[in-house]
Structures are given as C-alpha cells and as structure tokens.
Amino acid sequence: MNSSYDEREVLALLQDESTQRKAFGMIVEQYGEQLYWQIRRMVLSHEDANDLLQNTFIKAWTSIDYFRGEAKLSTWLYRIALNECLTFLEKQRAMAQVSLDDPEAAIVQKLEGDAFFSGDRVQLLLQKALLTLPEKQRMVFNLKYYQDMKYEEMSQIFGTSVGALKASYHHAVKKIEKFLADEL
C-alpha cells in the first residue's frame, strides 16, 4: 500500500479526463496486491487470480464514470472482484460437474500442482478447509481473517447486515476448526 495515497485527491483526478488514466494507475498501485490476494484465496490458482484481477480492473475502468463516491473505492473494487470470483467459480463448478462428481477435488488438485503455491501441509489443509465452506462464508472469512476488514465495510460490499456477517464468520471458523481437527 502506498502511504502517500489520498483517496480524495484520486477521486478529484478521476473527474478530469486529462488525469483519469493517472488516477486509475494510482488506484491499481494502491489496491492491486490486496485484491490479488483476496481473489487468490478464493480461486487458489495464481494464473486464475491474475486473470480475475485484470478483469476486475478492466470492469472498474470501463465503469469508472458510474462511480459516484458513495462508498470507498476499495469497497467498490472488492465488490467487483468478489462478483468476478463468484462468476468464475460458478463456471468452474459447471465445467467440473461435467467431468467430476467432486468439483472441489479439481480445485485442490490444481492448487497442489500450482508452481506458485509455496505453502506447507497446514496451509494446504487450511485451503482445503476453506473449500468446504459456501462461497459467501469463504469470502467473509477471507476478508476478516486475512484483511482484518471491519464488518461495517463488509456490510457495504455484500449488502448484508453486520450481525449476519458476524454469524457467517463464526460458522466459518467452527467449520474450519472441525475440518482441521479431523485432518490433523
């Protein structure tokens, strides 16, 4: 993250066509890495995460004129990224169901063969545990656990109450703990 990043300044630059590209470059630099890791935790593969990150920024760029600043830029970008992940995962599941009874097995197999995955056995088990969660629960867990995002900000991304998100996170933690206890 860039410590000199000023969202108000960037939003002002976005309003002017002559500085819009520069402002968008600042947005990509500011949020690219954290969005990449959020996407990667959902789809697991480096190549897929890179593709989805590019799709996220392309969608953001093509619809930047519709961004009105009611939410923070990061919230808007996370919403786009999470929608991209959901669409991608639905397509993967549909393709996997044609060839496999267990679509998660294909994702785990892909993760185990990913040259960019450098995790140990415990990290691999955590990823397998996360795959057992419903997608929304997995997204909530990832945002809270890895990004330490506040429930209020997640509420804006998901359009869900803070209480429902806290419950979702709690259920995710319990399921992960059970999975790990059974595997370790």
- 4 in any annotated domain: no
Report pLDDT digits (tens) over 57-84: 999 999 988 887 778 899 999 999 999 9
Burial group, residue 160, by CB count within 10 angstroms (0-12, 13-18, 19+): middle
pLDDT at 112: 54
Higher per-residue confidence, 22 vs 125: 22
Burial group, residue 54, by CB count within 10 angstroms (0-12, 13-18, 19+): exposed
CATH (domain of 144): 1.10.10.10
> Where residue 152 falls among pLDDT bands split at 50, 70, 90?
very high
Distances from the Cα of 65 to the Cα of 8, 28, 99, 113, angstroms: 16, 16, 42, 40
Alpha carbon distance 73, 12 (integer Å): 13
- Total tally of structural domains belonging to the chain: 2
Same domain, 31 and 92: yes
DSSP state at residue 5: -
Whether pTM > 0.75 for this model: the answer is no
Which domain range does residue 168 map to? Answer: 121-184
DSSP state at residue 44: -
